[in-house]
Chain A
Amino acid sequence: MAKKVGFLQGNEAAAHGALYAGCRFFAGYPITPSTEVAEVMSVELPKIGGKFIQMEDEIGAMSAIIGASLAGVKSLTSTSGPGLSLKQELIGYACITEVPCVIFNVMRGGPSTGMPTGPSQSDIMCAKWGTHGDHAAITLVPASVQEIFEETVRAFNLAEKYRMPVLVMPDEIVGHMRERIEFPDQGELEVIDRTPPSVPPEQYMPYDTSFGDVPPLAAFGSDYRFHVTGLNKMQDGFPTTKASVVQAEEERQIRKVEANKADIMKWEEYLVDDADVVIVAFGSTSRSARFAVNEARKEGIKAGLFRLITFWPFPEERLLEISRRVKAFVTPEMSLGMCNGVVRGCIEGNAPVHGIYRVDGEPVNPGEILGKIKEVN
């Protein structure tokens, strides 16, 4: 049977991806350029018995999705730069309490109000370090409408599997572009649900590590009742300041991502194997980069594209490997060198990392990238 196809905007695809993944609760606050996610969810969720709520602010929206997720319902919010800043307090809460949820953040110019309708890729450090304290982060950076759908499904899977907030962060160009999309059939993409407890209620502890680094999660309103707090806590969920417990719990929460990086990380290598110049790019910038790589190849320059699909955790080991045999890296990005700095941080100085930075609301175009490839080859 022919696949169901559509001509969708990236933000609309995110909403449909979330529904495919089993999301049945959305709380949000209007913000350009992500509002379409909320609009689609407000139409689609009630049709299938799900719930949509427009909250009083970004913080309230983030709070509500954590509450709904603890009640056992897969939950999504969507936002953009200033909203991402506001949500940080509660992203940290979801990290320490280990509550699965997905935040769809469409990157626009910043800081502050910045350029609400202009594209940007400058939220990537905020995604990792925006909330205070040590914590793991998973951030996905899709580059097409199809990929937004699929990565949103994967974001829910990762959130459920690792009990943590997951961010999906297209830049505004990808969020607002319209492309053909093939809707996966039901069952075609894997959909993962959180692991429920296997012990009887009286033995249940919400942070019981005897089942591994990701403890099973019960739902409020089920046969299990438990306590959740943003304070450092023991395995039973109650607060503690005991040094050894706090240290072990914090380390476990980092480890559950670090030890599973191979499962979480995703990237695409395009003509990288023999490349002298490797472009490291993501989102809409990676589309310009692919064009530039093809043009460079036509001119006999061995250029390749390393396209990040997961930004956090970052594929440090693979880039280090590649760095040992290339002449140079180029990082075209809609920020003033955030990605560049991360690449530099993992390649031990093996190759120069040249940047192309635009924060003027314009995309990095293929010509700029091609020019840089020729310059550094």
Chain B
Amino acid sequence: MAFDYDKYIRPGKLPHIWCPGCGHGIVMKGLIRAIDTLKLEKNNTCIVSGIGCASRLPGYMDCCTLHTAHGRAAAFATGVKMARPEMTVFCVGGDGDGVAIGGNHFIHACRRNIDITYILMNNHIYGMTGGQFSPATPTGAKASTTPYGNPDPPFDIAKLAIGAGATFVARGTAYHAVQIDKLIVEAVRHKGFSVVEILDDCPTTYGRRNKYKSVIEMMNHLKEVAVPVKAAEKMAPELLQGKVLTGVLYKEDKPEYCEQYQKVIERAQGGIK
């Protein structure tokens, strides 16, 4: 029997705003399958986003959903999680939202290791505003504000998250759709701040400026650059040039923030400063 996505979609809220060929819908389906696998209760699941195409995702989901201001998802989510540690809290959003305007909140949520799963849809561009370069746009790429090619080097978002202290970091792609829910499931089961970066495509504002003739070509690119982290271990370094590792890139057990704060409460109540 086909998987029933409708049971997690808010009645009447589709169609979504995403362009034909955009990978965000693939990620949303992955999130839905993950929620189903994890048997999360809708009332106990909070999905927080910032601003941008990817940040419209919560509106379609039949959960507690919070569409905040540009870049602020991780900070709002921190408030929700602190207030209700029993809730499963997701952040969803794009690359510009997450690591440009929201970069400070992102790295500090990583550092605290608060039990939130951040699904970052990296399509390397500001799509909603019409295709300006983001901190994830490759050097040399064309965007509406890099007409002569992007002079900026991009962030490696997964490395940024690991460096900042996230204790679970995974990467997938919109092409590898069936892997997405598995990565999210593992991220949610991990106690601590988890980042799932999904390399995504924006045919409308990135593809057409960067000589991708079709969505299929963009998807094939994702297929070709992705190397599972285990396969990469056996590959010669020169073969990994221009490739992107996928799968679970980093996992570490460290004290989780809400649990740490619970210890603060116990110390305060025990009279020990």
Contact = CB atoms under 8 A, between A and B. Distances in A.
A and B co-occur in one complex: yes
Interface of A: 25, 27, 43, 46-47, 49, 51, 53, 55-57, 59-61, 63-73, 75, 89-90, 93, 220-231, 238-239
A59 B87 CA distance: 23
A51 B82 contact: yes
A46 B264 contact: yes
B167 interface: no
A228 B65 contact: yes
Given A63-B75, A226-B64, A227-B58, A221 B86 contact: yes
B83 A89 contact: no
B171 interface: no
Nearest to A75: B79
Contacts, number: 135
The interface residues of chain A, by DSSP majority, are classed as mixed
A230 B66 CA distance: 9
Contacts of B83: 25, 51, 67-68, 71-73, 75, 221
A359 to B, nearest CB: 32
Given A64-B78, A67-B77, A55 B66 contact: no
A228 B58 CA distance: 9
A93 B59 CA distance: 17
27 contacts: A25-B82, A46-B268, A53-B261, A55-B78, A56-B75, A56-B105, A56-B107, A60-B75, A61-B75, A63-B69, A63-B72, A63-B75, A63-B105, A64-B78, A67-B83, A68-B83, A69-B79, A70-B79, A89-B69, A221-B43, A221-B46, A225-B43, A227-B58, A227-B59, A228-B65, A230-B68, A238-B13
Contacts of A93: 68-69
B251 interface: no
Given A71-B83, A227-B66, A228-B65, 10 more contacts: A51-B82, A57-B104, A63-B76, A63-B79, A67-B75, A67-B76, A89-B69, A90-B69, A227-B10, A239-B59
Contacts of B10: 227
B139 to A, nearest CB: 28
5 nearest A-B residue pairs (beta carbon): A67-B79, A63-B75, A64-B79, A46-B268, A71-B83
B210 interface: no
A233 B77 CA distance: 21
Interface residues of B, number: 39
B76 A221 contact: no
Nearest to A222: B43
Contacts of A239: 59
B65 A227 contact: yes
Contacts of A67: 48, 66, 75-80, 83
B43 A223 contact: yes
B108 A51 contact: no
B269 interface: yes
Nearest to B114: A53
B59 A238 contact: yes
Contacts of B64: 220-221, 225-226
A55 B104 CA distance: 10
Interface of B: 10, 13, 42-44, 46, 48, 58-59, 62-69, 72, 75-80, 82-84, 86-87, 104-105, 107-108, 261, 264-265, 267-269
A231 B67 contact: yes
Contacts of A59: 72, 75, 105
A53 B82 contact: yes
Given A225-B63, A229-B59, A46 B75 contact: no
Nearest to A56: B108
B79 A220 contact: no
A56 B67 contact: no
Contacts of B44: 221
A75 B84 CA distance: 13
Contacts of A27: 78-79
Between B66, B72, B83, B261, the greatest number of chain A beta carbons within 10 A of the residue's beta carbon is seen for B83
Nearest to B111: A56
A220 B22 CA distance: 30
B41 to A, nearest CB: 10
Contacts of A90: 69, 72
Nearest to B64: A220
Nearest to B87: A221
Contacts of B67: 227-231
Given A93-B68, A220-B64, A225-B42, A66 B108 contact: no
Contacts of A61: 75
Nearest to B62: A225
Between A67, A70, A231, the greatest number of chain B beta carbons within 10 A of the residue's beta carbon is seen for A67
Contacts of B48: 67
Nearest to A231: B67
A45 B48 CA distance: 26
B188 to A, nearest CB: 17
A172 to B, nearest CB: 27
Contacts of A75: 79, 83
A306 B184 CA distance: 61
